[in-house]
Amino acid sequence: MTSIMASVKRLKFYAIAVFFLWVKTYVLYKICFNIESTNVLQEFILMINPLSSSILILGLALFFREKHREVMLIGISFVASLVLYFNVLYFRFFSDFITWPVLFQTSNAQDIQGSMTELMGIADFLIFTDVIILLLLSVKGSIPLVVSKKSDKGFIFSLALLLFFANLALAQVERPQLLTRSFDRELLVKNIGMFNYHAYDLYLQSESKAQRVFADSSEIIEVKNYANAKYKRANPDFLGVAEGKNVIVLSLESLQSFVINNKVNGEEITPFLNDLIKESYYFDNFYHQTEQGKTSDSEFIVDNSMFGRDSGAVFFTHATNEYHALPEILGKNGIYTSVLHPNNKSFWNRDMMYQALGYDKFYDIDSFDVTEENSVGWGLKDVDFFEQSIDILKSQPEPYYSKLITLTNHFPFELEEEDRLIDEYDSNSRTLNRYFPTVRYMDRAIEVFFERLKEEGLYEQSIFILYGDHYGISANHNKAMAMYLNKSEITPYDTVQLQRVPLIIHVPGQTKHEVNHTVSGQIDLKPTIMHLLGLEPKQDIQFGTDVFSENRQSLAVLRDGSFITEDYVFTENTCYRKGSGLETDIAHCEPFLNKTMQDLDYSDKVLFGDLLRYYQEH
- Asked if 270 and 490 touch (Cβ cutoff 8 Å), the reply is no
Phi/psi of residue 420, nearest 5 degrees: -85, 115
Question: Directed axis angle between helix 151-174 and helix 2-10, to 10°?
Answer: 110
Per annotation, catalytic residue among 99, 295, 545, 571: 295
- Asked if 587 and 579 touch (Cβ cutoff 8 Å), the reply is no
- Asked if 194 and 87 touch (Cβ cutoff 8 Å), the reply is yes
The whole-angstrom separation of Cα 193 and Cα 568 is: 32
The whole-angstrom separation of Cα 531 and Cα 98 is: 38
Could you please report the per-residue DSSP string of 452-467? HHHHTT-STTEEEEEE
- Which among 395, 393, 394, 371 has a CA at the least distance from the CA of 384? 371
R_g of the chain, CA atoms, integer Å = 26
431 given a catalytic annotation: no
- Asked if 443 and 271 touch (Cβ cutoff 8 Å), the reply is yes
CB-based contacts of 426, cutoff 8 Å, min separation 6: 433
The whole-angstrom separation of Cα 63 and Cα 59 is: 8
Question: Directed axis angle between helix 40-59 and helix 69-94, to 10°?
Answer: 140
Could you please report the per-residue DSSP string of 377-424? TTEE-HHHHHHHHHHHHHHS-SSEEEEEE--SS-TTT---GGG-SSPP
The whole-angstrom separation of Cα 502 and Cα 504 is: 6
- Asked if 85 and 129 touch (Cβ cutoff 8 Å), the reply is no
For residue 141, the SS3 value is coil
Q: Give the residue numbers marked as catalytic.
A: 295
